[in-house]
Structure 1
């Protein structure tokens, strides 16, 4: 084809291509671009249009292959190449492509910010978005501000970088949601709950007037807000409300697999060691293979740790140890996998193995010594090895001088009655604070505690020395003076006598006493004490006789027995229990129940049928309760006798009674 003939044809094809592009008919535009490239394979404009059409049609792999194939024609398509790599989850390749661009325009900067966000490079991403929000003005300003809020929240939440609240707008539910994530990173769960409630209301109102949005699409948007709200409620200890929200989101079955993974993981944390079968199902959802690009690295780490814990709770020893070893290699900077492994061995009563695992890790990672040494000390204490536990606590370096650790060490040594070791702990801690934190409140507390300890253990001179140092700081403290007197009285009575003059006088002490508060406290001691107080009041004067009569209470008349006869002599034994009275003969029993027990033809004397004596005739069942006696089917004796019979011989109690009555009647 000659050039004169091809030029008008190309012009017509370009006109057609432009028309399809403006109408966003990318399928037909792609066909037209192919026609142009068939006529003129070196047409750069047609090649670029073809790549753009493939991108618009989401054919990223095909577009990227075309760009990589045609090096010359695609020299100006760095943005399109990086975008295709980004959409194909080749994030590192996309970053390398953007880094090769000498001068980044706004399109490349925004794409670079997105790439950095996916790679969790939040600091550089934040600076890029700040520049874009400041120096650009178009229809996408609100989206950029939303992304800026998301990066700021990620810096606070995942990277642990403390940020100030930027005071961004909250005119959309996305901005409210991101602000709530920022507050979660700050630990302000109450404020985060308020923002999420507002975001939910804004989301509903923003889609209320849009007829093109279905109810399912609205629920899809609300799902992520509700899951975050459930997490905030869970962190506040409102487990029931959080569970209801998680279940509500699960019923809607959102298409976001990452969101479902978060829901499943959080439900597993609520279940803990309960509902393990449900937790297993949830953990399968949280660890699915299609979540690689949907979760942050911190989320993946937490899910893996929860999975390892679930293996331990369900006694899956091999899976627990295997996953714990994988996590130790993948996350060497966290000690949780090692603690889980040690807990698993401790659960199986393999204490030496658990201690060995912790000691090996503490030597390799001394920066995580606190939690590991504390866990090791706990394991030693569970075995009763107190001194080994103390050695673990003293291996904490400067942390061993924290007041809580010092208190624990002193308590442990005193439990073994090792007063010298406890005293040495106090001495070392006080020396450490004198060198590093002189005059601190912790030092004063330690010196007071040490003085009390030494005084109880008879070291009066050491106590006096310690208290004298404390007096230099607070010379007018009456408690210190009183303790000094008690200490000096043990070895220097004269010194104690001279110091006693420095105590405040009773008049000085009484000036600081609040009489009203004392009376209020005194009146709240209870009615019994107040009655005693009334008895101790002085006798009234002569003119107060009328008042005294009013205060006297009327005595109530005593109640008489129902069968009381006036003029009769009361029973002198009425104060004794009935069974201890001389005339008590017990309850009278029916004579018929005692007759008929014994062999046929036997006779009974009048003494044998006395109702006050138990029957001892041959054949009577003395060891088991008789019909009509206090023993019943629920008494231990009845249960015991019934259990001694065979199953076929056990009969209801009423049948046995009838049989005995019938036999007695025949005998008479």
Structure 2
């Protein structure tokens, strides 16, 4: 009976009657709950009906046997409801197949593991050619995400082929890659191309064509806004109907782009309402990190416009409490900036610093807050205080035993800010010391900063293209030597010797022209430098006398008469002072330090102490009352 029902079920399994298939499965399972075939077919029917959560529940209720049998379907359902960690684990257990590889790439892409997704797509493109168009579309999308993620070294695509230009999806993804690179002019051209190809495509129904054109127009609006082309942007605005966009993520981005395009005329409270009108996307439709990061910034800016300072302080403080401190990531540091802006309540300059500096005293390791303080100090021309603030925070990090704190202490971006401040004040010694400490620290780390590794890869690429390019060789050696000296030891022989480079340099001519000598010769010339910096007594006498205006000279001034050297002392302190009268001579003797002490002198001193009043009571008693 079960076998006959199953055969009937399989005969009904067409693409148009998934509900009937599901009903037949339920009928079979009501009689035999452990029928693995019926369970598997039910899972497929639920996927066809986009009932992904129901599909997950059926597989998990079916036990390990069904998970093994329908592993690919289970992983896909988890992927569709946004449970990416579970989907990653499930697809790893699924039987190996081309479909499994495609799903692995999709899950990796959605989980923002773009490098892994790019590798999978590259492997898939080497096996078959019938999927080449779809693979190209996905590969270009992955490269755009890698660029936005800050991993340009893994981007594989650069230029579109003629065949790729005929696909509006590929042209659109290539435009996104150019936006991420900052090449907005090229992105504008590609978006126009994608729009034209989509409009003339014969493979799309009118409904599908309209759905595909909406995200292209939203992206085009963003590019035109960035380029300042207001008339073209206004024309594109007329093409966008936000309510017709099915995906919440695209709808939220569209609302942001539309209202920001009209920011000069919109009321801030209307802007605030519009930016919060669309609910957050969930499951597999949620925003990527870089999108969520930018839209959160727009939301915080709107909060500032409508003066929701207390609410922003609470929300940003909650986010900061959940983030490590210090952090070199953009999101927590921007939260610190918005938190500081909320405390400043629209003020700038010294008034803002008065509100923000107490926060930095409590959170000296908050790098976003520190950079905000530095920016405010620099804006008012107080570079010295900016340097002091950075040095205090670096000292707090240096005292920590945490490895993360030490990495933040020597972060290249943070130190570049300090070096720039030092340059503004001409502090060359501090610059050399700062860079030397950073180089010494990173030389001991197994993984140096990505900037150094990126420089290494770029110079290596240039060297491979032209092995005779000495500049490329020098750059590769300089960037790789601190990472792994053995890798560049053979290239050092290709570089010219130092003696060869300075063979035509006239050191004497440089020194006479005002060039400072090297550190090795500085010790030998120490006496000469000391004489140059410090004026001798003879030098002072040889200098021309300073001219004094007649209005500042006394009436009886005689230029031939030598002035009294004690003229700046009080009269009674001069050696020529002679007190008049008996009492005056006695007081002068009492004031003389080192003179002979007699009984009369001691008695006079005692009487003077008594009259001056040693205790508070006697002094009050003898004090006369003043007039009231």
TM (norm. structure 2) is 0.58
Please tell me whether the aligned partners of residues 360 and 370 of structure 2 are also in contact (alpha carbons under 8 angstroms). Answer: no
2: CA distance, partners of 1:159 / 1:435: 27
From 278, 293, 297, the equivalent of 2:285 is 293
Could you tell me how far 1:105 is from its partner in structure 2?
1.4
**1:302 — aligned with what?**
294
How many angstroms does 1:401 deviate by?
7.5
Alignment partner, residue 106 of structure 1: 98
* Structure 2 residue aligned with 1:312: 304
The residue aligned with 1:222 is: 213
Contact kept, 8 Å, 2:167 with 2:194, in 1: the verdict is yes
Looking at structure 1, the residues matched to 290 and 514 of structure 2 have their Cα atoms a distance apart, in angstroms, of 51
Structure of higher CA gyration radius: 1
Q: Does 1:27 align with 2:72?
A: no
Q: 1:146 to 1:226 in 2, by over 3 A?
A: same
The equivalent of 1:142 in structure 2 is 133
Judging changes above 3 Å, is the alpha-carbon distance between structure 1 residues 91 and 276 closer, same or farther for their aligned structure 2 residues? Answer: same
Whether the 8 Å contact between 1:250 and 1:260 is mirrored in structure 2 is no
Asked if the contact 2:195–2:213 (Cα under 8 Å) also holds between the matched residues in 1, the reply is yes
Q: Does the 8 Å contact 2:370/2:389 carry over to 1?
A: no
Out of 197, 200, 204, the residue aligned to residue 202 of structure 1 is 197
The 1:247/1:313 distance shift into structure 2, 3 A limit, reads farther
- Measured in 2, the distance between the counterparts of 1:390 and 1:20 equals 77
What is residue 129 of structure 1 aligned with on the other side?
Answer: 121
Deviates more, 1:89-98 or 1:170-179: 89-98
Whether the 8 Å contact between 2:387 and 2:421 is mirrored in structure 1 is no
Indicate if the aligned counterparts of 1:390 and 1:409 stay in contact, CA closer than 8 A.
no
Aligned-pair CA distance for 1:206: 0.6
Which is worse superposed, 390-399 or 230-239? 390-399
Q: TM-score, normalised by structure 1?
A: 0.54
CA 150–472 in structure 1, closer or farther in 2 if over 3 Å, else same: same
Once the two structures are superposed, what CA deviation does each residue of 1:561-602 show, in whole Å capped at 9, x if it has no partner?
xxxxxxxxxxxxxxxxxxxxxxxxxxxxxxxxxxxxxxxxxx
Aligned residue in 2 for 1:188: 183
Asked if residue 391 in structure 1 is aligned to residue 383 in structure 2, the reply is no
The aligned residue for residue 94 of structure 1 is 87
| Structure 1 partner of 2:72 | 79
Q: Gaps spanning 5+ residues in structure 1: where?
A: 1-5, 411-424, 438-463, 474-486, 492-668
- CA displacement at 1:151 relative to structure 2: 1.1
Match of 2:108 among 105, 113, 116: 116
Shift of 1:327: 3.7
SS at structure 2 position matched to 1:79: helix
Deviation digits for residues 162-202 of structure 1 (CA, Å, limit 9, x no counterpart):
32425452321101001111111221111111111100000
Match of 1:345 in 2: 343
Deviation readout 1:447-506 (Å, 9 max, x if unpaired): xxxxxxxxxxxxxxxxx9986343999xxxxxxxxxxxxx9xx99xxxxxxxxxxxxxxx
CA 405–60 in structure 1, closer or farther in 2 if over 3 Å, else same = closer
Partners in 2 of 1:400 and 1:35 — Cα distance? 71
Partner of 1:255: 246
Equivalent residue for 1:470?
515
Counterpart-to-counterpart distance in 2, 1:188 and 1:328: 33
Change (3 A) 1:137 1:30: farther
Distance 2:425 2:64 in 1: 75
- Specify whether residues 181 and 330 from structure 1 end up closer, same or farther in structure 2 by C-alpha distance, changes over 3 A only: farther
What corresponds to 1:279 in structure 2?
271
Q: Matched residue of 2:277: which SS?
A: helix
> How well do the aligned residues superpose, as a CA RMSD in angstroms?
3.9
Deviation at 1:45, TM superposition (A): 2.8
- Could you tell me which residue of structure 1 aligns to residue 365 of structure 2? 364
**Deviations 1:356-397, CA, capped at 9 Å, x for gaps:** 324554x3145x698345225247x38xx6753453477788
The aligned runs of 1:499-578 (5 Å cut-off) are none
| Contact 1:269 1:306 (8 Å CA) reproduced | no
CA distance in 1, matches of 2:109, 2:314: 32
Name whichever of 126-135 and 194-203 sits farther off. 126-135
Aligned residue runs from structure 1 range 640-659, under 5 A: none
Cross-structure match for 1:10: 3
Range moving further from structure 2, 23-32 or 73-82: 23-32
Residue number in structure 1 paired with 2:374 = 374
Shift of 1:329: 3.7
User: For the structure 1 residues 272 and 36, does the alpha-carbon distance in structure 2 shift closer, same or farther, using more than 3 Å as the test?
Assistant: closer
CA separation in 2, counterparts of 1:466 and 1:341? 54
- The whole-number CA distance in structure 2 between the counterparts of 1:178 and 1:204 is 17
Cα displacement (A) at 1:231: 1.4
Where relative contact order (Cα < 8 A, 6+ residues apart) is larger, the structure is 2
- Please say if residues 177 and 195 of structure 1, whose CA atoms lie closer than 8 Å, have aligned partners that are also in contact: yes
Partner of 1:249, secondary structure, is coil
User: Cα distance, 1:223 vs. partner?
Assistant: 1.1
Separation of aligned partners in 2, 1:108 and 1:287 = 33
The 1:275–1:245 alpha-carbon spacing in structure 2 relative to 1, beyond 3 Å, is farther
Unmatched segments (≥5 aa) in structure 2: 395-413, 440-508, 519-531, 537-628
CA distance, structure 2, for counterparts of residue 306 and residue 179 of structure 1: 26
2:321 is the alignment partner of 1:321: no
SS at match of 1:295: coil
Match of 1:457 in 2: none
- Select 2:43's aligned residue among 39, 51, 69: 51
Q: Secondary structure at the match of 2:13?
A: helix
Contact 2:43 2:58 in 1 (8 A): yes
Q: Is the 8 A contact 2:357 2:373 kept in 1?
A: no
- Say which of 170, 176, 190 aligns to 2:171: 176
